[in-house]
Amino acid sequence: MHIDIITLHPGLLESPFQHSIVKRAIEKKLADVTIINLRDYGLGNYKQVDDAPFGGGAGMVMTIEPIANCIEELKAQRTYDDIIYMTPDGERFNQQIANSLSMHQNIILLCGHYKGIDDRIRQLYITKEISIGDYVLSGGELPAAILCDAIIRLLPGAISDETSALSDSFQDNLLAPPVYTRPAEYKGLKVPDVLLSGNPKQIDNWRHEQSIEKTRKSRPDLLS
Ligand code: SAH
């Protein structure tokens, strides 16, 4: 899978790809992520990428040409399944969207800044708009990193035990059951006996019951 991320702040996107599962998936060539500095497409001597909003008001708006030129250049090199704008007014990101994006070959993620991007970019180029939640951040970089993490860990081979991603929360609309490791007792708190029983069927049943119980308590909306 190939991911191009268009950003004005490439530095914000360095660390998320240099650790843990995501780093290993990139090393194994399951995913390849290119960070594109939108400033390189800025106009004039000052490499301008933003301007004051028509109609007045506070904040700057990211201009059309640098983004359009950048996207056009990328599109000349590959066919993209989706060109995604990270934006608080987009569709709320969830596991189902992560699952479906993880099947794509090539995607572009566009990170906004300031007041956002000129709406005509959305009309002309953007095929999907995704929000990571009902709050406003300064830029689309952290949302893009979150989206990449969620989809890259789903790529076959990214997690050593592939079934492990399937038993995570939100697959099957359930929250994951509690997990324990050594020591078997800590400050009087014991690991449930069934997990020490060595009986896989009983353990599976217990985990499933715990999942349902936890979902009923914390996220009943998932069960309906
Ligand atoms: N004026 C816009 C917010 C701009 S925030 C509004 O009120 O809707 C600046 C940039 O941060 C956005 O262009 C977007 O790329 C990113 N961003 C902020 N919050 C986000 C969120 N919850 N999900 C995804 N992207 C977000």
pLDDT at 126 over 80: yes
Domain coordinates in residue numbering, the chain:
2-152, 167-223
Q: Which CATH number fits domain 167-223: 3.40.50.880, 1.10.1670.10, 2.30.140.10, 1.10.1270.20?
A: 1.10.1270.20
Q: Does domain 2-152 have CATH number 3.40.1280.10?
A: yes
User: What is the rounded CA–CA span in Å between residue 141 and residue 35?
Assistant: 10
Binding pocket residue ranges, ligand 1, CB within 6 Å: 86-89, 111-113, 115-116, 131-133, 135-137, 139-140, 143
Characterize 201-212 residue by residue with b for buried, 16 or more Cβ atoms within 10 angstroms of its Cβ, and e for exposed.
eebeebbeebbe
Residue 20: how many CB atoms within 10 A of its CB? 11
Mean pLDDT across the stretch 45-63? 98
Q: What is the 3-state secondary structure (H, E, C) of 137-176?
A: CCECHHHHHHHHHHHHCCCCCCCCCCHHHHCCCCHHHCCC
Query: Percent of the chain at pLDDT above 90?
Result: 95
Query: Given this model, what pLDDT does residue 162 score?
Result: 60
For the four alpha carbons of 13, 33, 106 and 7, in that order, the dihedral sign comes to: positive
Nearest CA to ligand 1 atom 11: 139
pLDDT digits (tens, 9 = 90+) for 149-176: 999 999 999 998 766 788 899 988 999 9
Going by pLDDT thresholds of 50, 70 and 90, the confidence category of residue 82 is very high
Cα of 112 from ligand 1 centre, angstroms = 7
Nearest CA to ligand 1 atom 21: 88
pLDDT digits (tens, 9 = 90+) for 163-222: 678 889 998 899 999 999 999 999 999 999 999 999 999 999 999 999 999 999 999 999
Going by pLDDT thresholds of 50, 70 and 90, the confidence category of residue 88 is very high
Quote the mean pLDDT of the chain: 97
pLDDT at 86 over 90: yes
Mean pLDDT across the stretch 78-82? 98
Nearest ligand 1 atom to alpha carbon 116 = 13
Cα of 20 from ligand 1 centre, angstroms = 27
Query: Percent of the chain at pLDDT above 70?
Result: 99
